[in-house]
Structure 1
């Protein structure tokens, strides 16, 4: 069976991790084998590896190692979340090493919609820089993401509804 990867991207606070966890629960209920990798942590270090060691491709190396381990156990479905994964799909797909089917999704939400989520995540307080960086990333993603990437506006949706839409895009049910 050919692997199938669902890439979920979007600005901070849009609900990537929450939607992935909800999808994880929905797949468990259906008995669908899968793995979840939170890509934002694959190269989380200081100094930032992509700045200190530009040629290292640490996220891709770690993704290759992790997915290789999952594949060796028989997993063929992967949910991968990362803020900007949809901008680096060729290198991420290459790192997977098994020519997977790819479904790419950009989760979208306005400043007003993501602000309360960021506040909850940061225990009630966020600084203007965090919201500003999130807004800048939203604009960058909106401008640079290919038309082939599916878009879901999470603003008025519950996480389970976002997950249901993701599930329908993958046809894993």
Structure 2
């Protein structure tokens, strides 16, 4: 029996992780399913990187552990966690969710280069567009190479966010049960 569940939503920049995470959360709220949502990118937004932690991995784990501990103390047992490489960091995330066994559900959102360029073009208005597009392409290659078979691939091209979120929510089984915080 798992005492905690985490839905990892990973994927290249522009694949729809944040938007999809919020839509899955909306579906769960509508069904009165207790959960929380954490945007992993916000856990390591600091400059410069701490000494000895150039990729901010330790910072991410420590901040996730602190935030999750607060949610868990309030009775939450389900987490939606979005981050580009979340599906590659399941061990880090489950360590941060100490307090019992964790069931991990991994989803990697995919999108074509054309779709990603269009989405990033809509949000990257400054000088960072080309850099973000290049980083997204590198991230897509890394994820495809490193994400295990346990990670479901979900295509986001030409699909509504609601349709994508419903598919992902079905992977969790959470809509079949309710468990408000105690």
SS of equivalent residue, structure 1 residue 57: helix
Q: Is the 8 A contact 1:118 1:126 kept in 2?
A: no
State the Cα distance separating 1:28 from its structure 2 match.
Answer: 1.0
**Alpha-carbon spacing, 1:56–1:86, altered in 2? closer, same or farther (3 Å):** closer
Q: Does 1:4 align with 2:29?
A: no
Deviation at 1:125, TM superposition (A): 7.6
Equivalent pair of 1:17/1:81 in contact (CA under 8 Å): yes
TM-score by length of 2: 0.88
Q: Deviations over 1:36-88 (max 9, x none)?
A: 00001101111234xx4328701001111111100110111110001101111
1:132-155: CA deviations, max 9, x gaps? Answer: 110010011001111111110111
Partner of 2:98: 97
Aligned to 1:39: 40
Q: CA deviation at 1:158?
A: 1.0
| TM-score scaled by length of structure 1 | 0.92
**What is the CA deviation profile of residues 103-154 of structure 1, one whole-angstrom value per residue up to 9, with x for unaligned ones?**
0111111110111111121248863222111001001100111111111011
Q: Are positions 1:70 and 2:60 aligned together?
A: no
CA distance in 1, matches of 2:130, 2:140: 15
Count of aligned residue pairs for this structure pair = 171
Provide the C-alpha distance between the structure 2 equivalents of 1:92 and 1:75, rounded to a whole number of angstroms. 16
Of 9-18 and 112-121, deviating more is 112-121
Following superposition of structure 1 onto structure 2, how do residues 103-122 of structure 1 map, counting pairs within 5 Å?
Answer: 103-122=105-124
Q: Which runs of 5+ in 2 are unaligned?
A: 176-182
Q: Distance in 1 between matches of 2:152 and 2:71?
A: 26
- Unmatched tracts of structure 1, length 5 or more: none
Whether the 8 Å CA contact 1:119–1:125 is kept in 2: the answer is no
Residue of structure 2 in register with 1:14 after alignment: 15
Contact kept in structure 2, 1:39 and 1:81, CA below 8 Å? yes
